[in-house]
Amino acid sequence: MELYKEILVQALSQQRAEIIFPDLRINATQIIELECYKTLKKIKAVIEDDSLEDESCFRKIEEIVCVFEEMGSSSGERHDFG
């Protein structure tokens, strides 16, 4: 449920905010599904990149973690490859 909240907060932060959301024509579930789909497309592109050699695989993981960070999801303290 935490990831759900992080995705929703990130998506809503890009909307014009008022007491109501007059320009928002989709519900929270639709927002989450759309953001998840876009994120999964990015992750799939990273995984399918065969141009990297085996020793570069950790960079693929790094890219995936960065995708989650871009959408506002914390990767926690364990991730610190940089």
Backbone CA torsion sign across 23, 32, 50, 57: positive
Q: Any residues with CB less than 8 A from the CB of 71 and at least 6 apart, and which?
A: 6, 7, 10, 35, 39
pLDDT above 90 as % of the chain: 1
Q: Provide the pLDDT for residue 7.
A: 87
Please, what is the average pLDDT of the chain?
A: 78
Q: Provide the pLDDT for residue 79.
A: 54
Q: Provide the pLDDT for residue 75.
A: 62
pLDDT tens profile 13-52? 888 765 577 787 888 888 889 888 998 888 778 777 777 6
Dist CA 10 CA 17 (whole Å) = 13
Q: Provide the pLDDT for residue 61.
A: 77
